[in-house]
Chain A
Amino acid sequence: AQTVTQSQPEMSVQEAETVTLSCTYDTSESDYYLFWYKQPPSRQMILVIRQEAYKQQNATENRFSVNFQKAAKSFSLKISDSQLGDAAMYFCAYRSANQGGKLIFGQGTELSVKP
């Protein structure tokens, strides 16, 4: 069975600084997708960024980028120029290419941004 682990329950960053959230996963599959979701206090889950396992190039979305290390099964999220609106719970998630829409989530990292 696949598992996703986020070892940092809480993180804090100063506004305008950079922060990296860690995520590791375990799978025996070769074809899968990885995601980072943001859940603000409103509880609305929002997709931040996604990565296809077969792509070596790391995904980037504006201030958000990932460091995907397939051999190490590591998928970290880097947030540059942090803003107050980035404060939220961040979830790393795994989706197999063979299991439809099923997402397996990590336990989450609560990010606070200090002004």
Chain B
Amino acid sequence: KAGVTQTPRYLIKTRGQQVTLSCSPISGHRSVSWYQQTPGQGLQFLFEYFSETQRNKGNFPGRFSGRQFSNSRSEMNVSTLELGDSALYLCASSLGGVWNEQFFGPGTRLTVL
């Protein structure tokens, strides 16, 4: 079974631009969660989508948004990029139950110049 894939793996943008990251979950998984990882703030939850609906949201500004498609693939968008948005963005997929294991992708490394 293929694992969670994230594209692109690396991205360089400049301040003020916007970016879209993609996450393809494991086949059959209906939940996709997104996390931001930085050296200063650690791992922080962005949001979770389940069956195309946002089920949970972290404490991030409205510049961070996401969506999920009918095939469970998810995208995350960050508008008006700031230097502080430079981070590793991880997505994780699961079957959707609270006890189900979350499988993480390799991450997208975003650098904002």
List residues of chain A with CB under 8 Å of any chain B CB: 33, 42-47, 50, 52, 91, 95-97, 99-108
| Pairs A-B, 5 closest by C-beta atoms | A45-B104, A105-B43, A100-B55, A101-B33, A101-B48
- Residues on B lying within 8 angstroms of A by beta carbon are 31, 33, 35, 42-45, 48, 50, 55-56, 58, 88, 90, 92, 94, 96, 98-99, 101-104, 106-107
* Majority DSSP secondary structure for residues of A touching B: loop
CA distance A99 to B90 in the complex (A): 19
Q: Are B98 and A103 in contact (CB under 8 A)?
A: no
User: Contacts A52-B99, A91-B43 hold; do A102 and B106 have CB atoms under 8 A apart?
Assistant: no
Query: Looking at the complex, which one of B58, B101, B103, B107 makes contact with A102 (CB distance below 8 Å)?
Result: B58
In the complex, the answer to whether A101 meets B55 with C-beta atoms within 8 Å is yes
- Contact sample, A vs B, 24 pairs, CB 8 Å cutoff: A33-B98, A33-B99, A43-B106, A43-B107, A44-B104, A44-B107, A45-B90, A47-B102, A50-B101, A91-B43, A97-B98, A99-B56, A100-B56, A101-B31, A101-B33, A101-B92, A101-B102, A103-B33, A103-B43, A103-B92, A105-B35, A105-B44, A107-B42, A108-B42
Closest residue of chain A to B3 (Cβ to Cβ) is: A44
With CB as the reference atom, state the residue of chain A lying closest to B45.
Answer: A102
Complex-state Cα separation, A46 to B90, whole angstroms? 12
Q: Are B106 and A44 in contact (CB under 8 A)?
A: yes
* Residues A104 and B104 in contact, CB atoms below 8 Å apart: no
